[in-house]
Amino acid sequence: MNMNRVLKKRIPRDLKENLAKYAALILLIAMGMYMVISMVASAETVIIDTETHGEANCVEDGQFSVFIPLTSEQEEEITDKGFTLERQFSLDIEVTDGSRLRVMRVRKAINLIELDSGNLPVEENECVLEKRYAQEHNLSVGDSITASNTEFTVVGVGSAPDYDAPYENLSDTAISSKDFGVMFVTDERYDYILNETDQKAEDYTYAYRLGEGNTSAELKEIIRDFEFDYKDVTDKYYLETIDGVFEKRDEISDGINSLYEGSAELSDGLKELYEGSESLTDGLGEISDGASELAQGASPLEAIAPTLTVGITALESGINEVY
């Protein structure tokens, strides 16, 4: 009981003496809880809104790129198995201010455009701009933009679910809408840019939705079974790249052939050198044997040399007496 009375007196006194400290701790805890709850709520809202807008705009289940477009028969083989497939080819063009725009046709089945303002393009010189790019460049409905020597009228500003984060390349770690954006145009204008203007190679990308009971792995197996012939490519830039690759391949092949022929000649030369070294060894052996025989023949000659000298002297005296 005494302890309870002591605590009852001490706790209020302690709170009164350290009121500022306890108030600061309570405020800090409240702010921390508020931040955590706000972040969780914001993340949940973003996730729900993304899923809602993605479903409304038929967001893709995946995409794949190829070097050669699929044939009509190959596309039909995919769709016959329950997949929804749409071509979403693109071209990268330069804007007069130095930025880049990825030009695409207006989508009809997958990754539909969601407009914040304006409407979809109808005329050839009309376009829809991705909203972050439009904001960075102070563009809105009714303004004009010049790219690839063509002036476009902005009739819509919005976004597409596959470019909700408009990375230029999948390997990029940051978004720069000041330098890169997305533009949607009519089929006629896209064909004009592709065939009549100076632009880089077309990127062949297909978006797909799985459908009931299908998986991405099954689609991958279908595509793997397709046969592709690079000769069917019509893109001139791709063909130039292929020609360059094959030219380099031929140069490498010729170099390997020359190296093989040179190695064969080197092998023959080494063989002849080896045979010549054997002949030289045999010749040196014969010289050594001849020298030994010469030394053996010189010994008897040395033995009769004094007698021969006496005979020569006597012969010389006899010749003198005759004369």
Cα–Cα distance measured from residue 200 to residue 37, given in angstroms and rounded to the nearest whole number: 48
The per-residue pLDDT for 119 is 94
Question: 265 and 129 share a domain?
Answer: no
End-to-end CA distance of the chain: 174
Do 235 and 268 have their domain in common? no
Q: Tell me the residue type at 8.
A: K
Residue with tokens 């039909």: 76
**Domain total in the chain:** 3
> What is the structure's pLDDT at 199?
66
Are residues 71 and 96 both part of a single domain? yes
Q: Are strands 150-159 and 126-130 parallel, antiparallel or unpaired?
A: parallel
In terms of domains, do 184 and 70 share one?
A: yes
Look at residue 75 and tell me if it is in a domain: yes
Run means of pLDDT, 10 residues per run, the chain, 323 residues = 66 77 88 92 83 82 88 91 93 90 93 93 93 94 90 94 86 87 94 78 90 89 81 61 66 77 78 75 71 65 64 67 61
DSSP for 145-205, written as a single string = EEETTEEEEEEEEEE-GGGSS--SSTT-SS--TTTEEEEEE-HHHHHHHHHHS---PPBEE
Give residue 149's pLDDT: 82
Q: Give every strand in the sheet of 62-66, ordered side by side.
A: 62-66, 204-209, 84-87
Do 156 and 204 lie in one domain? The reply is yes
Which residues make beta-bridge pairs with 182? Answer: 102
Per-residue pLDDT at 287: 74
Cα torsion 215, 219, 221, 222: sign: positive
pLDDT for res 251: 76
| One domain for residues 262 and 135 | no
Which range of residues forms the domain containing residue 45?
2-56
Is 309 a member of any domain? Answer: no
Compute the Cα dihedral for 117, 118, 122, 128 and give only its sign.
negative
16 plus 156 within the same structural domain: no
